[in-house]
Amino acid sequence: MAEHPQAMLIRKGYDAFSRGDLDILRGAMAADATYHVPGSHPLSGDFKGRDAVIDMYRRLLEETNGTLRLEPRQILADGRGHVVALHHLTAERRGKRLEEDGCVVFRIVGDKITDLDECVVDIDEDNDFWS
């Protein structure tokens, strides 16, 4: 059975992120896309607008000197504009290492990502790593 087109969109996004291709990610998002990052660290909060989301991705890559890796483990699409991507994350920053499972809940309208909600396993570990 072929993968759902919305799941394929998200898989292509993970692939683009792993290559640092922010232009492909920009093209996959609606202009008013919002990314919700949990926590109380400097890179948490709501990033409103495609440019703000892309800038946040750029900062993640810079803060980790390119060590941030997201490996998609499973991508689930309901065919109604909701996709959940389960992934494994590894990153190094300022002598610290982060390795955890997480997910992003995507909302898609047409063929564009409009909303991204990130979920993490251990919010305290994330806050410590990114602070």
Q: Which residue matches tokens 């806050």?
A: 127
Which residues does 42 contact at the CB level (< 8 Å), separation at least 6? 130, 131
pLDDT tens, 49-72? Answer: 999 999 999 999 999 999 999 999
CA-closest candidate to residue 100, choices 82, 73, 75, 77: 73
Phi, psi of 127 (to 5 degrees): -60, -45
pTM for this model (two decimals): 0.94
Q: What is the average pLDDT across 100-118?
A: 97
Q: What are phi and psi of 118, to 5 degrees?
A: -90, 140
pLDDT computed for residue 2 by the predictor: 80
